[in-house]
Amino acid sequence: MTVFHEIATNDLPAIIEAVANITGQKGNIIYIGHSMGTTTSYVYSIVKKESFRFSLKGVDIIITCCLFAKYTRII
């Protein structure tokens, strides 16, 4: 889980900020994740809750690589 945590807390916020700066669309970005990208978005939404809420308009999850036994809602 360390890899997911590092990507979610360091890389993903930096990538989203770079996309927002380049496009001028802060808060209007839709994140699309596949496999590890979906799991990273789950961790990001939990660990960086406020950043997640204000920097993304939506998240499109294609396939996850983790099983959540009692998953009901992240946000």
Q: Region 39-44: what's the mean pLDDT?
A: 88
pLDDT band at residue 65, thresholds of 50, 70 and 90? low
Q: Where are the domains of the chain?
A: 2-64
Task: Share the mean pLDDT of the chain.
Answer: 84
- What confidence score (pLDDT) does residue 29 get? 93
Q: Region 36-40: what's the mean pLDDT?
A: 87
Is pTM beyond 0.85 here?
Answer: no
In Å, how far are 9, 27, 40, 64 from 33, measured between CA atoms? Answer: 16, 17, 8, 8
